[in-house]
Each structure stands twice: as structure tokens, then as C-alpha cells.
A and B are shown apart, each in its own frame.
Chain A
Amino acid sequence: GQQVMQIPQYQHVQEGEDFTTYCNSSTTLSNIQWYKQRPGGHPVFLIQLVKSGEVKKQKRLTFQFGEAKKNSSLHITATQTTDVGTYFCAGHVNSGGSNYKLTFGKGTLLTVNP
């Protein structure tokens, strides 16, 4: 079945360093979404990418969708302690007609040392 792989599983950085997490799908995605989950919290939607090669920015966060719509990345510039959490990518795969399955990667847990 369709799988969404995400690396790395864990990343520990010093405050001020950059961070990147990568997402790769075994099949072409209709779109990709990124979520952040703080410890003890629920996934919170960050952004959705739809177009091939799309790049979106939210302040220090940059999201990219690959040309083949099979991979994506999230880059955080100059991390802060408030960036701590698990970042998930999630891909929508059309499973026939108007049926879609939203599959999550296993997430990257980011910890930031002040």
C-alpha cells in the first residue's frame, strides 16, 4: 500500500541552528500537508501544498513540494525553543473516484537546546 516515509525520526539542535525534515511517498500525492504536534497536544495543521514544485513560506518555515509530487520538505531557519514538537507530513492519495486516504509519515521529533 501507499507509504509515506519521513526522516529523520529525531533531531536535536542548538537554538539558532537550522532544521530540515524530509518526506517521501511511494506514490504520487494529490497534495501534501504538514502538521505540528506539541508534546501532549494534538496535530495542528501548518500548511498544504498542491502544485508540483510549490514553495511556501511562513516566517522562518519554508515548505517545498517536489516536482514529481512524491516528496516534500520542511525547513526551519534559526530554530527557537518554541519550535519544539513533532512535525508530521501527510499525503493525500486518490484511492479511486472522490475517495482519498490521508496517510501520515511517522514524524520528526525536534528538540531545541536553549
Chain B
Amino acid sequence: DSGVTQTPKHLITATGQRVTLRCSPRSGDLSVYWYQQSLDQGLQFLIQYYNGEERAKGNILERFSAQQFPDLHSELNLSSLELGDSALYFCASSSRPGQLAFFGQGTRLTVV
């Protein structure tokens, strides 16, 4: 158990809908990363937060947004969902940027 908790584990939704994925980092970790993993693209970095502030942005679509709350949990919001958004979404946390990251078990999103 990495100590990073992601909910829900599975999510099935229709195209055009909006979903929210939640991540609770390891106790004491201030930095949260979000990744998208699909079969053909590997682990794609989406966005990183540190102590509530956005620190780095990757290949995150405009339809996607995220935030980190004062209690350090983070949410990834995906809207206007398309079939191609079906993937595993991982959250990882580290004590601070540049340090080793621990991954949650992921949320498997299926858009139908």
C-alpha cells in the first residue's frame, strides 16, 4: 500500500458527461501529480500541484482541470468527455517537487 488513495476505482460514463476523480496524498506529502495512462500512450503527465498551487503543466486538455485543496487532497475534473478519454488516471504524491513519487491504484475511466 503506497498510502495514496484514489476514488473511485472504476467509473463508467457517457460521452459529453463530466466526472471528478479524487486523490488523497500520503500523509505529509505536499506535492500531487496527475497522470493519464492509455494503452498506446504510456504515462502522460497532466499536471502537478504543490501545497495548493499549480507547479507544472503537461499535456492536459482544456476540458480537464484540477485543483489541490487546503487539506492537500486533489481533484481532477474531466468534462465534455469523449471516447478517447477512456484511460487509467493515476495520482501520485511526493514530499515536495523533485522527490520520489508514490502512486495510487488509479481510477479506470470508461467513456461509452
Partners in one complex: yes
Q: Interface residues, chain A, CB within 8 Å of chain B?
A: 30-31, 33, 35, 41-45, 48, 88, 90, 92, 94-95, 98-107
Complex interface: chain B residues within 8 A of A44 (CB): 2, 103
Separation of A43 and B91 alpha carbons in the complex (Å): 10
Complex interface: chain A residues within 8 A of B58 (CB): 101, 103
A-B pairs under 8 A by CB, number: 64
Closest 7 CB pairs of A and B: A106-B42, A104-B43, A100-B97, A100-B98, A101-B56, A42-B103, A43-B103
Complex interface: chain A residues within 8 A of B2 (CB): 42, 44
How big is chain B's contact interface, by range? 20 to 34
A interface, over-half SS? strand
Closest to A98 in B: B97
Pick from B43, B55, B90 the residue with the most CB of A within 10 Å.
Answer: B43
